[in-house]
A and B are shown apart, each in its own frame.
Chain A
Amino acid sequence: MQSFEWVDATSVEQAVQLLGDPAANGFVMAKAGGIDLLDLMKEGILAPTRLINLKTIPGLDEIKVRPSGELEIGALTTIAHINSDHRIREQYPALSEAAGHAATPQVRNAGTIGGNLLQKPRCWYFRNENFHRGEIVHGDPALSGQNQYHAIFDNRTTSMVQASTPATALIAYNAAVELTGQHGKKRIVPVREFFLPPDFTTGRVTAIEPGEVLTQVVLPPLPQGTRSAYHKQTERDSYDWPICDVAVVLEMQGKAVRTAAIAMGWVAPTPRRASESEWILAGQNVNEERAAEAARAAVAGATPLSKNGYKIPILEAVVRRTILQAATA
Chain B
Amino acid sequence: MPEQQTKLSEPRTLQTGIIGEPIENTKRDVPILEPPPLPENAKLSAIGKPYPRLDAELKVTGKARYTFDVDLPGMLHARRVLSPIPHARVKSVDVSEAEKYPGVRAVHVLETILQQSVLRDPKLERPSRYPTVRYAGQPIAAVAADTPRAAEAAAKLVKVEYEPLPHVTDLDEAMKDSSPPVFPGPTEMAATAGGGGATPGLPEHGNVRGPDKGSLAGGPRGDVDKGFSESDVIVEAEYRTQVQTHTAMETHGVVADWREDELTIYASTQFIGSVRDEAAEHFHLPKNKVRVISDFTGGGFGAKYGIGNFGLMAIYLSRKAGAPVRLMLDRREEHIYGGNRPNSIQRLKIGAKRDGSLSAIKLEAYGTGGVAAGAGVGFAASIMYPCPNVLTEEYDVYTNAGPCAAFRAPGQVQGIFALEQALDELSEKLGMDPLALRDKIDTSGTEDSKARAAQRRIGAGRFGWKAQSKPNSSSGPNKTGPIKRGYGVAQSHWVSVIYPPTACEVRVLADGSVEALSAAQDIGTGTRTVLAQVVAEEFGLKYDEIGAYIGDTRYPPGPPSGGSRVTGSLTPAARNAAYRAARELAAKLGPILKAEPDEIVFAEGKVSIRGKPGSEMPFREAVQKAEIDEISCRAVRNEDYDGYLMKGPFFAIGKQGIGGVQFAEISVDIETGRVKAERIVAVHDCGRPINPKLTESQVLGGVIQGVSYALYEERHLDAKSGQQMNANIDQYKMVGAFETPRIEVHLLEQHGGHSSTDARGVAEPANVATAAALANAFYNATGKRIRTLPMNPANVLAALRS
Do A and B touch each other in the complex, judged by CB within 8 A? yes
Which residues of chain A have a CB within 8 Å of any CB of chain B?
1-3, 124-125, 128, 130-131, 133, 136-137, 141, 144-146, 148, 233, 235-241, 243, 307, 310, 313-314, 317-318
A237-B739, A314-B673 known; A137-B733 Cβ under 8 A: no
Q: Which one of B63-71, B535-543, B721-729 contacts A?
A: B721-729
Q: State in angstroms the CA–CA spacing of A239 and B738 once bound together.
A: 9
The distance from the CB of B83 to the nearest CB of chain A, in whole angstroms, is 10
Assess whether A241 is in contact with B730, with CB atoms less than 8 Å apart: yes
B10 at the interface (CB under 8 A from A): no
Partner of B718, one of A133, A141, A241, A318: A141
Assess whether A130 is in contact with B723, with CB atoms less than 8 Å apart: yes
Assess whether B725 is in contact with A128, with CB atoms less than 8 Å apart: yes
The distance from the CB of B550 to the nearest CB of chain A, in whole angstroms, is 33
Closest-by-CB residue of A relative to B675 is A235
A235-B793, A236-B736, A236-B739 known; A313-B721 Cβ under 8 A: no
Interface residues of B in 760-799 (CB under 8 A from A): 792-794, 797-798
Assess whether A130 is in contact with B721, with CB atoms less than 8 Å apart: yes
A136-B721, A235-B712, A314-B673 known; A2-B153 Cβ under 8 A: yes
Partner of A124, one of B136, B731, B736, B738: B731
Assess whether B721 is in contact with A141, with CB atoms less than 8 Å apart: yes
Convert B510-550 into 0s and 1s, putting 1 for each residue whose CB lies closer than 8 angstroms to a CB of A: 00000000000000000000000000000000000000000
Closest-by-CB residue of B relative to A136 is B721
Assess whether A313 is in contact with B738, with CB atoms less than 8 Å apart: no
B119 at the interface (CB under 8 A from A): no
B149 at the interface (CB under 8 A from A): yes
Assess whether B738 is in contact with A238, with CB atoms less than 8 Å apart: yes
Closest-by-CB residue of B relative to A315 is B672
Assess whether B720 is in contact with A137, with CB atoms less than 8 Å apart: yes
The distance from the CB of A171 to the nearest CB of chain B, in whole angstroms, is 22
Taking A2-B153, A238-B737 as known contacts, 17 extra A-B pairs with beta carbons closer than 8 A to each other, sorted by chain A number, are A125-B725, A130-B84, A131-B721, A131-B723, A133-B84, A136-B721, A137-B720, A144-B720, A146-B718, A233-B672, A237-B736, A238-B739, A241-B731, A310-B794, A313-B671, A314-B671, A314-B793
Majority secondary structure of chain A interface residues (helix, strand, loop or mixed): loop
Partner of A148, one of B674, B717, B794: B794
Which residues of chain B have a CB within 8 Å of any CB of chain A?
84-85, 136, 149, 152-153, 482, 671-674, 712, 716-721, 723, 725-726, 730-731, 733, 735-739, 792-794, 797-798
Assess whether A317 is in contact with B672, with CB atoms less than 8 Å apart: yes
Assess whether A240 is in contact with B733, with CB atoms less than 8 Å apart: yes
A133-B84, A239-B736 known; A124-B149 Cβ under 8 A: no
Q: Total contacts A to B, CB within 8 angstroms?
A: 86
What residues on A are CB-neighbors of B731 within 8 Å? 124, 241
Closest-by-CB residue of A relative to B798 is A310
What residues on B are CB-neighbors of A2 within 8 Å? 149, 153
Q: Which 10 A-B pairs have the closest CB atoms?
A: A238-B736, A237-B738, A310-B794, A317-B671, A124-B725, A238-B738, A145-B718, A314-B672, A130-B84, A146-B725
Assess whether A235 is in contact with B733, with CB atoms less than 8 Å apart: yes
A128-B725, A235-B733 known; A1-B794 Cβ under 8 A: no
What residues on A are CB-neighbors of B733 within 8 Å? 235-236, 240
What residues on A are CB-neighbors of B794 within 8 Å? 148, 307, 310
Closest-by-CB residue of B relative to A312 is B797
What residues on B are CB-neighbors of A148 within 8 Å? 716, 794
What residues on A are CB-neighbors of B719 within 8 Å? 145
Q: State in angstroms the CA–CA spacing of A86 and B153 once bound together.
A: 47
Q: State in angstroms the CA–CA spacing of A196 and B719 once bound together.
A: 29
Closest-by-CB residue of B relative to A3 is B149
The distance from the CB of A174 to the nearest CB of chain B, in whole angstroms, is 28
The distance from the CB of A121 to the nearest CB of chain B, in whole angstroms, is 13
Partner of A236, one of B717, B738, B798: B738
Q: State in angstroms the CA–CA spacing of A238 and B708 once bound together.
A: 13
The distance from the CB of A134 to the nearest CB of chain B, in whole angstroms, is 12
What residues on A are CB-neighbors of B153 within 8 Å? 2
What residues on B are CB-neighbors of A146 within 8 Å? 716-718, 725
The distance from the CB of A188 to the nearest CB of chain B, in whole angstroms, is 33
Assess whether A125 is in contact with B718, with CB atoms less than 8 Å apart: yes
What residues on A are CB-neighbors of B797 within 8 Å? 310, 313-314
Closest-by-CB residue of A relative to B729 is A239
The distance from the CB of A240 to the nearest CB of chain B, in whole angstroms, is 7
A128-B723, A128-B725, A145-B719 known; A310-B793 Cβ under 8 A: yes
Q: State in angstroms the CA–CA spacing of A128 and B84 once bound together.
A: 11
Q: State in angstroms the CA–CA spacing of A317 and B674 once bound together.
A: 12
Closest-by-CB residue of B relative to A124 is B725
Q: State in angstroms the CA–CA spacing of A131 and B721 once bound together.
A: 9
Q: State in angstroms the CA–CA spacing of A139 and B471 once bound together.
A: 48
Partner of B672, one of A128, A145, A318: A318
Closest-by-CB residue of B relative to A243 is B793
The distance from the CB of A179 to the nearest CB of chain B, in whole angstroms, is 29
A235-B792, A240-B733 known; A145-B720 Cβ under 8 A: yes
**29 pairs, A vs B, C-beta closer than 8 Å:** A2-B149, A124-B716, A125-B725, A130-B136, A131-B723, A133-B84, A136-B85, A136-B721, A137-B720, A141-B718, A141-B721, A144-B720, A146-B716, A146-B718, A233-B672, A235-B793, A236-B735, A236-B736, A236-B738, A236-B739, A237-B738, A237-B739, A238-B735, A238-B736, A238-B739, A239-B730, A307-B794, A313-B673, A314-B793
Closest-by-CB residue of B relative to A307 is B794
Closest-by-CB residue of A relative to B156 is A44
The distance from the CB of A55 to the nearest CB of chain B, in whole angstroms, is 24
Q: State in angstroms the CA–CA spacing of A200 and B672 once bound together.
A: 30
What residues on B are CB-neighbors of A136 within 8 Å? 84-85, 721
Closest-by-CB residue of A relative to B725 is A124
Q: State in angstroms the CA–CA spacing of A75 and B421 once bound together.
A: 53
Q: State in angstroms the CA–CA spacing of A90 and B730 once bound together.
A: 31
What residues on B are CB-neighbors of A307 within 8 Å? 794
The distance from the CB of A235 to the nearest CB of chain B, in whole angstroms, is 6
Assess whether A141 is in contact with B798, with CB atoms less than 8 Å apart: no
What residues on B are CB-neighbors of A243 within 8 Å? 793
Assess whether B672 is in contact with A124, with CB atoms less than 8 Å apart: no
The distance from the CB of A18 to the nearest CB of chain B, in whole angstroms, is 25
What residues on A are CB-neighbors of B673 within 8 Å? 310, 313-314
What residues on B are CB-neighbors of A128 within 8 Å? 723, 725
The distance from the CB of A224 to the nearest CB of chain B, in whole angstroms, is 33
A145-B718, A310-B797, A317-B671 known; A1-B149 Cβ under 8 A: yes
What residues on A are CB-neighbors of B739 within 8 Å? 236-238
Closest-by-CB residue of B relative to A310 is B794
What residues on B are CB-neighbors of A317 within 8 Å? 482, 671-672
Q: State in angstroms the CA–CA spacing of A243 and B793 once bound together.
A: 9
The distance from the CB of B129 to the nearest CB of chain A, in whole angstroms, is 24
Q: State in angstroms the CA–CA spacing of A163 and B199 once bound together.
A: 48
The distance from the CB of A226 to the nearest CB of chain B, in whole angstroms, is 27
Q: State in angstroms the CA–CA spacing of A317 and B482 once bound together.
A: 10
Q: State in angstroms the CA–CA spacing of A318 and B725 once bound together.
A: 27
The distance from the CB of A133 to the nearest CB of chain B, in whole angstroms, is 7
Q: State in angstroms the CA–CA spacing of A235 and B797 once bound together.
A: 13
